[in-house]
Amino acid sequence: MMRLRMGPWFIACVLSILFVAKGTVTYVHAESGPSAQTSVLPKPTNLKVLPMALSLPDVYTRMAQMQKDLGVDCSFCHDQDPDSKQINYASDENPRKETARAMMRMTQDINEKYLGTLGDRQYSPPITCGNCHLGQMHPPQFEGK
C-alpha cells in the first residue's frame, strides 16, 4: 500500500492561517513568535478544469483530496525542477497533468450528468477520484469472484 507523502510546503499550507489580499495569499506558518515566517503565494493560474473564481484555499483543499485519493504528491501531476525541487503549478510540461484534467472532467460528468439526474442524492453521493483509485496511483484491477 502506497503511503501519502506530504512535503513541508503542503503541511505548512494546511496548518497555516490563510489571508487573501490583493490577488495573493499571505500565510503565516503554524509557529508563532519572532521566528514565525510569512510567505506570499500568487493566485492560481492555468486552471482549465477548476473554476477560475475558486479561492486559493479551495484549490488547496481539492488538490489535497486528490493527493489522498491517489496516494501521490504534487509532483506526480505538476512539473518539478529536478535541481531546486520547486514545483511549477502552472506548467503543462508533465503529461500526467492533462490525464488528471481528463479524469476530473469525467468525474464532473458522472456527478452532474448521471448521478445528478437521480433526484434523491442520499443514495447517489458525488464520486471522487478515490472511488476508483482507492488511494493508489492507478486504479486497482477488479478481480471478480
Q: Is 89 contained in some domain?
A: yes
Average pLDDT on 86-108 reads 96
In a domain, 145, yes or no: no
- What average pLDDT does range 13-36 have in this prediction? 43
- Do the domain assignments include residue 65? yes
Determine, yes or no, domain membership for 144.
no
- Count of domains forming the chain: 1
CB atoms within 10 A of CB 114: 11
The answer to the question of residue 2 being in a domain is no
- Residue 85 inside a domain? The answer is yes
pTM: 0.70
pLDDT of res. 121: 77
- Which range marks the domain in which residue 83 is found? 8-133
Cα–Cα distance, 86 to 67 (Å, whole number): 18
Mean pLDDT in residue range 82-90: 94
Cβ count within 10 A of residue 70: 24
Question: Residue 143 falls within a domain, yes or no?
Answer: no
- Please check the confidence at residue 85 and state whether its pLDDT lies above 70: yes
